[in-house]
Each structure stands twice: as structure tokens, then as C-alpha cells.
Structure 1
């Protein structure tokens, strides 16, 4: 059964001037605290990577808070991966450790034939994380600050989603079927 971590506080945190983060403090069952530092772009990145509806902020927050408590699906415990146990596997796209390209391994964002399948596997893992993150039983929800200030921008999200698709295509098939222009900054009004 998963341990329950209660969110006690959420504040802005700047480890350097260029990185805006959220500092989330949890109360663990034994009374000690656990700190989680999350870049503010995490929700937008998750929405882009897994094509999660950007208006579904609660799902994005839940994934962001739980994914750090999910074992690496390609790590030493991959035989215990809940997504693989549910039949969500695909060939490995690169050699790594004892895994060889083509070995059947748990589905990930990188070896999945589709974003929808990668999303399903990732959501299943997050729902079965070793920790359940919950708001306090009474009072206000400290996560409201993230809900109100998530700032997911559709154009940035779309560009990130395209980069993920290109990366996955390149890993799966070895290159793009057409030449792409060099990354250029979009014209500004």
C-alpha cells in the first residue's frame, strides 16, 4: 500500500535567476517532511509530452507530483512495472545496460508507437506510485497556487509536442522522412 504524503505548503523558489520553481513541502506518515522542487514549466511540459489536456490542471498536477515516486520503467525493477504487467510493452529503441535494441521492455514516451499509448502507461504508473500525494483534510489546498498560476501557453506547448514527436520518430525509425529547417525563433509582432 502506498504511503500518504500530505501537501503542507507550496511556495515559489528560484534556485537561480533563470529557473522558476515550486517548492512543495509534504508531511510524511512518520511526521518528517519531504521537499519537492518542481520547475514551473513542468505542467506545460507534461501536457506537451503526453498530450494531456492543458485545461485538465488537476491531472497535470497529479502526474507531476506522483511521477517522482514511480520507479524507472527501464530500471532494475522493470519486471515489476505495472504498465508492462498490463501488457503495455514495446521494443527498446537503444542499447542500454543489459537491454538491447529490440528487446521487449515497458512502454515509455520514447519507445511507444503513439503518444496516447505512452500517456496511458505513464498515467497508470502514476496512479500506482509508491506514494500518494494528498491535500490537507481541512483548510485550504496549498496546491491552489499552482492551479491559479500554471501559465500553460498553447503555442509553446504545441512546439514542445512537435519536438517530442520528432525525437520519438528519430529513435523509432532512424531519421525524418523530410528535411526540417533549422530551429529558428518565431517572428515577433
Structure 2
């Protein structure tokens, strides 16, 4: 049964020097308060990385990201194993490729949705009993032009990682200007 974390407050504003963002305060079991802060443009990045358009789905994914199992297997210091044994013990991600391994946005999105669903059923379920997230959903500040720019950067990065470079040389910035009369 997953642990329930209830959203109790949301703060918007400067979360670091010159960085506008959101802070979501949740109450964990035992009354422990936890603050999850993230820059506002993270919503645009997740939209670009996974091809998402629904602010509610994007915020839900961001709030559950800290609970993903993304690290290597941690062995107690008393256990001595060779590196090969550790690599052999690692299993492929049952949810699909990571953002960096995916060959398409569709594959990355499907894997991300699977991971978030697994987190909610196996580890942590973040609830919003008072509907506080509605404020974030309505005031997300995502701009379609900035999302498109970020999507292009994600696509170039994905292509470069998968195929070792772009199929054509990147244009020189001066080549992009129209000739002047």
C-alpha cells in the first residue's frame, strides 16, 4: 500500500536567486511536512520531453519524480562483490526506456506514465484533498513557443545520443539571416 502525502500548501515566487518557481508543501505520515520546490520552467521541459499538454498531468509527474527508483543497486558495505556481479544483478527497467534511451517522444512518454503509475500504486500517492493544485494548473505560465524550442533541443539531444551527431551540419548563425538590400 502506498504512503499518502497530502498537499497542504502551495507557494509561488522566487525559490532561488532570480529563479521563479513553485513550492508544494505536503504532509507525510506522522505529521512531517515536506517541501518540494521546482523552477516554473520545469513544466515546459516536461511538456517538451514527453510531448505532454495537460498541466495537471505534468505537475503530477513532477511531484512523483522524487520517488522514482533511478539509482544503482546499493549494497551494504560488508558485502564485497565484483563490478561484473553488480552489473549482472541490475535489471532492465520494466517500465520502458528512460528519456535518454527512448528512440521517440512516444516511447519516453509511455515509460514515464508507467513509472508514475507504479510509484502511485507501490510507493507514494500524493493527494490534493483541498484542490490546491488547481491554482498551479491555471497559472502554470507555459508558453507554446518556449515549449517548441525546448522540444527541438530535446530532439537534437536524443538524435545525437542515439546516432552520434546530426545528419547534416548545424547551420552557422549568419547563414540564417536573410540577405539585406
TM-score (normalised: structure 2): 0.79
Aligned residues: 158
By relative contact order (CA 8 Å, sep 6+), the higher-ranking structure is 2
Q: Please list every run of at least 4 consecutive aligned residues from structure 1 whose deviation after the TM superposition is greater than 3 angstroms.
A: none
Structure ranking higher in helix proportion: 2
Give the gaps of 5 or more residues in structure 1.
89-106
Residues 124-163 of structure 1 mapped to structure 2, 5 A cutoff: 124-129=114-119, 130-136=123-129, 140-163=130-153
Give the gaps of 5 or more residues in structure 2.
75-89
1:75 corresponds to:
72
Task: Give the whole-Å Cα distance in 2 for the aligned partners of 1:16 and 1:29.
Answer: 28
1:52 corresponds to:
52
**Counterpart contact for 2:51–2:109, Cα < 8 Å:** yes
Structure 1 or 2, whichever has the larger Rg, is 2
2:80 corresponds to:
none
CA RMSD of aligned residues (A): 2.2
Q: Deviations over 1:50-104 (max 9, x none)?
A: 1112xx11111111111121111x6338538441xxxx3xxxxxxxxxxxxxxxx
TM-score (normalised: structure 1): 0.76
1:120 corresponds to:
110
1:27 corresponds to:
27
